[in-house]
Copies of this chain bind each other. A is one copy, B any other.
């Protein structure tokens, strides 16, 4: 962050507003993944984040507004910086995804986002932004591949981590991630595109 309040001086009003919004949105996301969607109310968030209800209502008129902004933060997922070793880079990027799932329950946040799109189609934009950001490094690493093969590789690599976390209740181990990457690379090599 590079708000106008940095550098030792008192934060400006703008910086305080940013901080307040960040505090509440961070709390909203945490409540969402730990206590579920029903717990994301203005009153509960005010109490948990240490602000007045009026403040929460001032920034977000409805629960859907709150959810949209909180889930938009999920898009700030960390990424691995590629080194040029394709196998190591793919494993590292999937491992960063796993760590975000373990540390922030990204898998649950994504499930809530998908579940809510039924009632709130405006959240589809939030999902699309999250997916674009989330897949960026993986797509760049796989760049020589294209078409259905790229799509299949993307779905298999990203899907394996998310599916394990959501449906088996635990993301894949280091060894399973390595097997996933090795099978994908062998599959691509055998098809003559890698």
Contacts and interface: CB of A to CB of B under 8 A. Distances in A.
A88 interface: no
Contacts of A15: none
Contacts of A128: 169
Contact of A183 (B32, B124, B156, B167): B156
Given A159-B162, A162-B159, A118 B148 contact: no
Interface residues of A, number: 61
A180 interface: yes
A155 B164 contact: yes
Contacts of A156: 156-157, 159-160, 180, 183-184
A116 B36 contact: yes
A44 interface: no
Given A105-B118, A155-B159, 17 more contacts: A37-B119, A38-B119, A39-B119, A114-B167, A124-B169, A131-B168, A148-B173, A148-B179, A149-B183, A151-B176, A152-B183, A155-B163, A156-B159, A160-B160, A182-B191, A183-B183, A186-B186
